Amino acid sequence: MSVTLASLPPAQPVLFVELRFAWIFAVIFLVNWALRWNTARKVWLLICSHVFYTCFFVGDPLEFVDNITHGRWDQLHQGWWFPALLWFSTVMDYFVGIGIEAAKTDRGRRAWVATSLAVNLGVLGFFKYYGFFDENVRAVFSWLGMSPTWEPLKVFLPWGISFYTFQSLSYSLEVYRKHLPAERSFLNLALFIAFFPQVIAGPIVRAMTFLPQLAKRVEWSKVDVRGCLVMFFMGFVKKSCISDNLAGVADAFYAAPQDYNGFSGWMAVLAYTGQVYCDFSGYSDMAIAVSRLLGYDLCQNFSFPYFSASITDFWRRWHMSLSSWLRDYVYISFGGNRGSKIFTYRNLMITMLLGGLWHGASWAFVLWGGLQGGALILHREWTLRAGPRALSVMKWFAVPITFLFFALTLVPFRAGDTYMGVMGRDNGNDVLLPLPADGSKPLRDGKPAEILPLRIVNNGFLAEGKDPADAAPMADMRRNVLTGSWHKAPPNGSSAPDAVGAQPLLARRLTGSWGTMSTVLATLVGLGHGTHSVCSNWMLLVLGGLLLFHWLNYRQVLSTWWRRMPEWSFAMLLGIGFAIAVFMKPVVFKPFIYFQF
Amino acid sequence: MRAFFVRAFRTLLGIALFFAGYGLTCLGIRHFLPTDRVPIVSVKMDYWSQHADDFDVAFFGSSRTFRQIVPEIFEKDLAAAGMKVKVFNLGIDGMRPPEDTFYMEQAFSYRKTPIKIVIVECNPIRLVTRDEDKGTVRSVYWHDWPRLVSIFHKAFFFDNKKRKLGDRIRKVWFAWGPFQEHLEYWLWNNANAGRGHDALFKLLNVDQLPPFSKSDLGRRVDGYKPPADVELMDEQKTKFYNAKKAEVLAKPPKPDPGDLASLAEIRKKNRLVEKAGGKMFLVVPPVLSENNIALTEGNGIPPVFDFSDQQKYPELFDPLHRSDTGHTNYAGAVIYTHLIVQKMLPLLKPNSP
């Protein structure tokens, strides 16, 4: 049976902020602690982790089994077989670990680790970068005046593959470096790779951190329940109340940056900077809290990065699990700073370019990585050259400069993410056609293209419609999709067909919109022609309030008072807190930004 | 052992206090804030709330009512029969039971005088939320306790037939997913989800699409808006339509007496209409589908006009009068409205309304 028969769009992952996660977690949690034997708990968690991960691809498990047993292959979700990749990675790395340890020569050890690297990165590369590669090869061909004849493959990016591949690789690399003995327990290794709180979007837990925890018995008495609940609550607030609300401002601006004035541009840049941080660190907080409630500790992923005094410091505090992974396995593997200055800078740049590419197969992400690498080099050079007086003066401006630099580098990160396109047809193939900003119908070879029943893509997501699209409503739909409001009636009573069901389009990371990027930058420096305001001046107050709250947290003013509260008042206050958080969150959930990576 | 019980008691007390804090805060917020604004629904209800007593006849249903029953034609046909009435179409795209019952309750609460005629589109309770409504205010606002109970009945009490245990378990499993989605919406509704966000965006004047357009009230401000596709179906669509039509004709669906929860919902609506002083008529719209709702009047069920038979009403299924398998175009809507009046007239008492 061919997998291409599967006709339903890929299923959606369960978000930690959804109620259904609460049910699922309640069952996992209660059974986990009801079991007496540690091995039984681990088996239970492994089963749950794989079922949890598999459901991201197959949807309802019983429906899936029903469809398989009745041979209804067309009723399966695309990518339903992707969970097998997780097993494949686990089994391979299990044997690679044993193979490395058993190898008697360095050559043998290298061969084993090379196998792990080649296979893991090969799988990741194929699924993540095939589309990017294909697109660029086609661009080169057409630049040379040739037309490529091969048909593009439909490749979908499995959820979490970037995260678990790096996690799995950390195991084989640590065994290779003799920092860790090969794990003889397949159960432990499988649980380490598939552990459900972090399998989709990290933190990228290192084998050295997690495997020793699995060797020990977990004790309920050691679980800091109050700390976990507060951490989960803070993650929920960051994601649902702050990030999703800030997204409304950023999305409105990036939907049509040419319409807005400079103030709006800066508000959107700041809003997006807050959105990214709260989205990802909120997710990480919830993942860590959930994991701790089950007795396992995951590594910290963020440490107030927006208060960093330099870009070097920033990268020690931002997405720490990825940056330390890149430092230990890429930067150091390339030689680190054990050579000339140029050699070190080269390594820095390679590491950050790869870091950028890890985020998505797009030149915009490569540019983003390049900017980070360039800044790291500049900072290193500055610290070597600047005198003590310059350094002491700079101390006062270091934090805002670092923050502003990072906020501005998020312009390509976000603009590169705002590809707008529709699914069209060309010679019988489904193709992505860029959607003109004026809302006119896309062209193919100078003629209006054949558009499939309205499917508009953005940010790697696809909104699918019922009726064939015509040119008129596209401008409205473009905005609807970008602002996440495709369910809303189009303005002015126009008769656009409703776009239904935003579904992730995992075919590839969509290429960046350079036009959007340049328009945003022009708006920021006051060269834009837009006059609209994306929000009122009150937004500054909101952002200031958030910054103050974050600073108080940074200074640990808010970190412990709740520990001193009596149990009854803590429980009640947490209930009040959740009620206010739910009240403040938008009804429509926004997908986690880092799910797409 | 005593320590265990003390710990268990403290844990349970903590959980109870958590929910107490949560619930009381939700109630407090609810008390002080206005209700949610729902695209199309709020526009119609706002207008109706101010003019409810101006109208004698109301239509409730989905797009097959909103876009297919023309108040202007309805008024003219009744006027020709000597009955002068004013009609408002309260149909909303995608509105199915039990949302329509909630909406009807709200609509009748604004009336001070009795209503005369209420036309309700006949649909079973929809358990699975439409994709475009998932996680939106539209899916949340109507989830009160009675609606949740209706959904629960629909999900877990199927019919009076004897079924094998395995079959029942399967059905319960498949129903759990959609039901828990409704449960989540019910919790969101009671927890005022999204209302703080809306208030914040209003305060900050964040540039958003205007989802509330008065054009949804229609040209005559009678709640009717023509179908999105006023033109004819294109060749490809017509081909697909004809194939489907032939398929349904060759293999007509078995008559479906309706599930218990959906029938209860119809009876509830009938009682509401009677309480509001009106007479209710159920209408089965002209749809090409695998379902064939076959209800008969009596036992709390009002008169039913079934237009889903393509042999009986060929004009409603003529491709020239359709925009797709589920909807007519404007020409079809005009015919459909005439037919409803024709069916209804003999059932109205000579001097009413």
Task: Quick: pLDDT tens for B290-322.
Answer: 666 778 888 889 999 999 888 899 999 999 888
Q: Are A80 and A162 in contact (CB under 8 A)?
A: no
The beta strand positions in A487-526, using DSSP E, are 499-504
8 Å CB contact of B173 and A62: yes
Does the pLDDT value for residue A484 go beyond 60?
no
Which of B24, B27, B207, B224 is the best mutation test for A, with the most CBs of A within 10 A?
A: B207
Phi, psi of A459 (to 5 degrees): 50, 30
Contact with chain A for residue B193, Cβ under 8 A: yes
Give the pLDDT confidence score for residue B211 in this predicted structure: 53
Task: Quick: pLDDT tens for B156-208.
Answer: 876 656 667 777 777 777 788 888 889 988 988 888 888 888 788 878 877 66
DSSP string, A412-470: HHHHTT---EEEEEETTEEEEEEPPTT-PPPEETTEEPEEEEEEEEETTEEEEESS---
Q: Is B4 exposed, middle or buried (0-12, 13-18, 19+ CB in 10 A)?
A: exposed
Task: Quick: pLDDT tens for A91-139.
Answer: 999 999 999 989 888 899 999 999 999 999 998 888 888 877 877 787 7
8 Å CB contact of B195 and A583: yes
What tokens were used for A106? 């360095």
Which of A587, A589, A590 is the best mutation test for B, with the most CBs of B within 10 A?
A: A587
8 Å CB contact of B131 and A500: yes
Task: Quick: pLDDT tens for B24-71.
Answer: 999 898 888 777 778 788 889 989 999 999 999 999 999 899 989 999
Task: Quick: pLDDT tens for A221-267.
Answer: 889 999 999 999 999 999 988 998 888 888 778 777 777 888 888 99
- Cα-only R_g, chain A: 25
Distance CA B288, CA B250 (A): 12
Contact with chain A for residue B326, Cβ under 8 A: no
Does the pLDDT value for residue B18 go beyond 90?
yes
Task: Quick: pLDDT tens for B342-352.
Answer: 999 988 865 55
Task: Show which of residues 138-167 on chain B sit within 8 Å of chain A, judged by CB atoms.
Answer: 138, 140
Question: Three-class SS of residue A130?
Answer: helix
Find, in chain B, the residue whose alpha carbon is nearest to that of A465: B132
Does the pLDDT value for residue A431 go beyond 80?
no
Q: Are A472 and A494 in contact (CB under 8 A)?
A: yes
What tokens were used for B300? 């709390």
- Considering CB atoms only, which of A571, A575, A587 is closest to B194? A587
Banded model confidence at residue A9, pLDDT cuts 50, 70, 90: low
Query: Who contacts A448 (Cβ-Cβ below 8 Å, separation ≥6)?
Result: A441, A442, A471
Question: Widest CA span of chain A, in angstroms?
Answer: 76
- Considering CB atoms only, which of B18, B204, B208 is closest to A542? B204
pTM of the model: 0.79
What tokens were used for B4? 């265990």
Task: Quick: pLDDT tens for A360-414.
Answer: 777 778 888 999 999 999 999 988 888 788 888 888 889 999 999 999 998 887 7
State the sign of the Cα–Cα–Cα–Cα dihedral A397, A398, A403, A405. positive
Distance CA B24, CA A38 (A): 40
Between β-strands B292-293 and B255-256, what pairing exists: parallel, antiparallel or unpaired? parallel
Task: Quick: pLDDT tens for B331-341.
Answer: 899 999 999 99
8 Å CB contact of B205 and A499: no
8 Å CB contact of A489 and B228: no
Phi, psi of B341 (to 5 degrees): -65, -45
Q: Which residue has the higher pLDDT, A443 or A478?
A: A443
8 Å CB contact of B131 and A486: no
Give the pLDDT confidence score for residue A491 in this predicted structure: 32
Contact with chain B for residue A233, Cβ under 8 A: no
Does the pLDDT value for residue A461 go beyond 50?
no
Distance CA A506, CA A596 (A): 8
Q: Are B124 and B258 in contact (CB under 8 A)?
A: yes
